[in-house]
Amino acid sequence: MFELFMPRLRVNTVFDIDLNELYAKGYRGIITDLDNTLVGAKEPSATPELVVWFEKVKKAGFKLVIVSNNNMNRVSLFATPLDIEFIHAARKPSNTPFRKAMNIMGLTPEQTIVVGDQMMTDVFGGNRLGLHTVLVLPISLHDEGWTTRINRGLERIALSRLRRKGIWNEEEKKK
């Protein structure tokens, strides 16, 4: 069961994702979390570096949807100026927002990547549907809300079990 919390790929940031390699493997869409994946939870807009990354994503041929558990105002203020589709109040790890994002992009699970900073929402939700999951390190832990802090505690338990089973090795993470 704990294997459902295991991402297919672990990287430090979204900038470390090899878009060309994933495109060559047949992936065509990216579902990404917002808070602590793309920017800190209290950062209202994209950094210049992130804007360039979004351009690279689109230029590489990927479709993109932001799926966030945060509210309409937060997600809309971030995504709308960037002309990026989004789903707010997603209730991840529910299957519904992931399916809705795939429908928006017109893609199948085999063509879709999920990028996020939480094992309990992004990775678990994506793995349950057979999506390619990518776990990034959280950008700003001190800005997280109480529900995320609870999830982080549950993640520590899951990580402990995965390490004991020999499934989670720290050196696997790409730099």
Q: What is the pLDDT of residues 32-72, one digit of tens each?
A: 999 999 999 889 999 999 999 999 999 999 999 999 999 99
Residue 123: other Cβ atoms inside 10 A = 28
Query: Taking the model in full, what pTM does it have?
Result: 0.84
Q: What is the dihedral of CA 101, 60, 122, 148, to 10 degrees?
A: -110
Residue 172 — left, alpha, or beta (φ > 0 → left; ψ -120 to 50 → alpha)? alpha
168-172 — which CB contacts under 8 Å span 24+ positions?
168/6, 172/10
Cα radius of gyration (the chain)? 15
pLDDT-based confidence at residue 21 (cuts at 50, 70, 90): very high
Q: What is the predicted pLDDT for the residue at 101? A: 98
Please determine, for residue 96, whether its predicted confidence score (pLDDT) is greater than 80: yes
CB distance 30 to 64 below 8 Å: yes
